[in-house]
Amino acid sequence: MTRQANALAQGAILAAMAAILGLAALYLPVLGVLAGALWTIPIIVLILRFELNTGIMALTVALAIIGMTAGPVGALSLGLRGGFTALILGYAFRQQWSPGLTVLSGGVVTVLGTAVLLVVSFAVMGGPLLDTAELERMVDETMELYRQYGLLDPLLQQGTSEEEVARQVRQAMGLAMSLIPGMMFISSLSAAGLTYLLARLTLKRLGYQVRPLPAFRYWQVPWYTAWGLILGLALLLAGDYLGFKPVLLMGQNIVYIYLPLLLVNGLAVVTYYYYKWNLNPAVKAIGLALLVINLPVTVIFLIILGAFDPLFNYRKLSFGTQKRE
């Protein structure tokens, strides 16, 4: 069998496998989360075995099968949130890019794909995800549940009026709905990260050479990512000051997307110094216990630490690698 025929045969099999996993991601409530990270791995394997064009053809076939079964919306959603990410990850593995550059490239493509999906969703729906009337209906239903199960009584006994409770519920729901785009971005980035880790394991099991990941304590976001956070904070403050809600919502979502990234980066900094400082194990245990006991304060501290680390480079690292210690 020639290489071209072999590529077509394996492409057909792996495209069908990707389509099955993609449909599972759409229809299975629990296993769908794992399937959502797994469905693009056959495409990545194809790119490594043959070339990028083979992966593109297999991805097109898989999305066509998904579209005929689940409809074009499901295929479009999977393609934008995972398909392009699979292509860039497959190409990165094939070219032996560094883990940091691979993850960064996959993250950028994932963000762009999710942004296009959001724009298409807003265009199809003809407006925001939730209008004022729908929000008021949800608040009324929530307040009715509070009354039905007696959850309002303790609040009323403390002197809080029912109108005040309704106002707080309305604010909480409004904030949650405004952060839906950010939640979608975080979900897509998490799936892309999980896909990268699972693809590494799969490729190593198949005998491919994969560049090793640095230890967690050496993980670091590049310094230029700080500009995205600065932009988000600037939009948030400008939107609040000017009373321009679209700018405010854009800033809120950008900052919200950055929070888990900064948390992980801050945790990597703390882990680095946990290993670097030769302290008594008992002292380290007490320090960890204090961090866990004061978890809300610890999370805020880690986020702030993770935000400033790219600028000041506390660990004296180059991006994603150990420079000196």
Who's near 181: CB < 8 A, 6+ residues apart? Answer: 118, 253
Higher pLDDT, 122 or 81: 81
What is residue 27's predicted lDDT score, i.e. its pLDDT?
86
In whole angstroms, give the CA distance from residue 145 to residue 76: 37
Helix crossing, 295-312 with 226-242: angle to 10°? 120
194-250 pLDDT per residue, tens: 888 888 998 888 888 888 888 888 888 888 888 989 999 999 999 888 888 888 888
In whole angstroms, give the CA distance from residue 264 to residue 288: 16
User: Is pLDDT above 60 for 322?
Assistant: no
CA-based nearest residue to 315, from 172, 248, 201, 218: 218
Rounded to 10 degrees, the C-alpha dihedral 67/69/70/75 comes to: -20
CA-based nearest residue to 107, from 215, 2, 260, 240: 260
User: What value does the mean pLDDT take over residues 45-51?
Assistant: 88
CA-based nearest residue to 319, from 170, 141, 99, 142: 99
Who's near 283: CB < 8 A, 6+ residues apart? Answer: none
User: What value does the mean pLDDT take over residues 134-157?
Assistant: 73
Higher pLDDT, 228 or 168: 228
CA-based nearest residue to 309, from 220, 238, 224, 239: 220
User: Is pLDDT above 90 for 162?
Assistant: no
Who's near 288: CB < 8 A, 6+ residues apart? Answer: none
CA-based nearest residue to 113, from 105, 123, 124: 105
274-289 pLDDT per residue, tens: 888 888 888 888 888 9
Rounded to 10 degrees, the C-alpha dihedral 199/201/207/211 comes to: 80
What is residue 125's predicted lDDT score, i.e. its pLDDT?
62
CA-based nearest residue to 315, from 288, 281, 275, 259: 275
What is residue 131's predicted lDDT score, i.e. its pLDDT?
56
In whole angstroms, give the CA distance from residue 161 to residue 53: 64
Burial class of residue 37 in the structure, from the number of CB atoms within 10 Å of its CB (0-12 exposed, 13-18 middle, 19+ buried): buried
Which whole-number Å values give the CA distances from 313 to 226, 233, 295, 316, in the listed order? 12, 21, 25, 5
Q: Apex CA 16: angle with CA 12 and CA 22, to 5°?
A: 145
Q: Apex CA 309: angle with CA 306 and CA 310, to 5°?
A: 110
DSSP code of residue 36: H
107-142 pLDDT per residue, tens: 888 888 888 887 877 776 655 555 566 667 777 777
